[in-house]
Structure 1
Amino acid sequence: MAIYTKEEAKQILDKALSFSKADTCEINLNASNSGNIRYARNTVSTAGYQSNQTLVVQSSFGNKVGVATIDEFDAASLEKVVRRSEELARLSPENPEFMPPLGQQEYLETKTFHQSTANVSPEYRAEVAAASIEPARAKDVTAAGFLNDSAGMSAMINSAGLFAYNQSTNVDFTVTMRTNDGTGSGWVTRDFNNVDRFDAAEASQIAIDKALMSREAKAIEPGKYTVILEPAASIGLLGNMFGAFNARTADEGRSFMSKEGGGTKLGEKIVDERVNLYSDPMNPLVPTSPWAGDGQAYKRMNWLENGVVKNLAYSRYWAKEKGVDPVPFPSNGIMEGGDASLEDMIKDTKRGVLVTRLWYIRSVDPQTLLYTGLTRDGTFFIENGKIKHPIKNFRFNESPIIMLNNLETLGQQVRINGNLIPYMKVRDFTFTSLSDAV
Structure 2
Amino acid sequence: MTILSEADAKTLLKKVLTYSKADECEVSLDGEEWNNIRYALNKVSTCGSKVYKTLSVQSAYGKKVGVATIDEFDESSLEKVVRRSEEIAQLAPENPEYVGLLGPQHYLPPSGFFESTASISAVDRAKAVAQSIQVAKSQKQTVAGYLEDRTGYSALMNTKGLFAYYPSTKVNFSATIRTENGTGSGYATQGVSDFPKLNTALATQIALQKALGSVSARAIEPGKYTVILEPLAAAVLLEHLFRSLDARSADEGRSFLSKSGGKTKLGERIMDERVTIFSDPTNPELPASPWADDGRAQEKINWIEKGVVKNLSYSRYWAQKKGVKAVPSPSNIMMAGGTATLDELVRTTQRGILVTKFWYIRSVDPQSLLVTGLTRDGTFYIENGKIKHPVKNFRFNESPIIMLNNLEMLGKVERIVSSEGSFTNYLIPAMKIREFTFTSLSDAV
Provide TM-score, normalisation by structure 2. Answer: 0.97
**Distance across 2 between alignment mates of 1:149 and 1:177:** 22
Deviation for aligned residue 1:138:
2.6
2:390 is the counterpart of 1:390: yes
Deviation for aligned residue 1:196:
1.7
Q: Which residue of 1 aligns with 2:441?
A: 434
SS in structure 2 at match of 1:89? helix
Q: Which residue of 2 aligns with 1:411?
A: 411
Identity of aligned residues (%): 61
Q: Which residue of 2 aligns with 1:193?
A: 193
AA matched with 1:21: K
AA matched with 2:234: S
Q: Which residue of 1 aligns with 2:224?
A: 224
Deviation for aligned residue 1:244:
1.8
SS in structure 2 at match of 1:77? helix
AA matched with 2:215: R
How is 1:199-278 mapped onto 2 (pairs within 5 angstroms)? 199-278=199-278
SS in structure 1 at match of 2:211? helix
Q: Alpha-carbon deviations, 1:9-51, whole Å to 9, x = none?
A: 0011000010001111111111111211100111101112221
**Distance across 1 between alignment mates of 2:262 and 2:51:** 49
SS in structure 1 at match of 2:167? strand
2:53 is the counterpart of 1:43: no
**Distance across 2 between alignment mates of 1:57 and 1:127:** 41
SS in structure 2 at match of 1:401? helix
AA matched with 1:403: M
AA matched with 1:194: D
**Distance across 2 between alignment mates of 1:285 and 1:110:** 13
Q: Which residue of 1 aligns with 2:421?
A: none
Deviation for aligned residue 1:422:
0.5
2:418 is the counterpart of 1:425: no
**Distance across 2 between alignment mates of 1:25 and 1:143:** 51
2:328 is the counterpart of 1:321: no
How is 1:287-306 mapped onto 2 (pairs within 5 angstroms)? 287-306=287-306
RMSD of aligned residue pairs (Cα, Å): 0.9
Q: Alpha-carbon deviations, 1:384-412, whole Å to 9, x = none?
A: 11111111110000011110011110010
**Distance across 2 between alignment mates of 1:261 and 1:16:** 48
**Distance across 2 between alignment mates of 1:191 and 1:102:** 34
**Distance across 2 between alignment mates of 1:270 and 1:48:** 45
Deviation for aligned residue 1:197:
1.3
How is 1:61-140 mapped onto 2 (pairs within 5 angstroms)? 61-140=61-140
Give 4+ residue runs of structure 1 displaced > 6 Å after superposition. none
**Distance across 2 between alignment mates of 1:134 and 1:306:** 44
Q: Which residue of 2 aligns with 1:160?
A: 160
Q: Alpha-carbon deviations, 1:115-162, whole Å to 9, x = none?
A: 000011101111121112122123232111110001111100011110
Deviation for aligned residue 1:222:
0.2
Deviation for aligned residue 1:90:
1.4
Q: Alpha-carbon deviations, 1:400-436, whole Å to 9, x = none?
A: 1110011110010001232211010000000000000
**Distance across 1 between alignment mates of 2:392 and 2:61:** 60
Q: Which stretch shifts more, 290-299 or 71-80?
A: 71-80
Q: Which residue of 2 aligns with 1:402?
A: 402
- Identify unmatched segments of 5+ residues in structure 1: none
Provide TM-score, normalisation by structure 1. Answer: 0.99
Q: Alpha-carbon deviations, 1:210-257, whole Å to 9, x = none?
A: 111111111000000000000110111111101221100000011000
AA matched with 2:27: I
Conservation of the 8 A alpha-carbon contact between 1:12 and 1:73: no
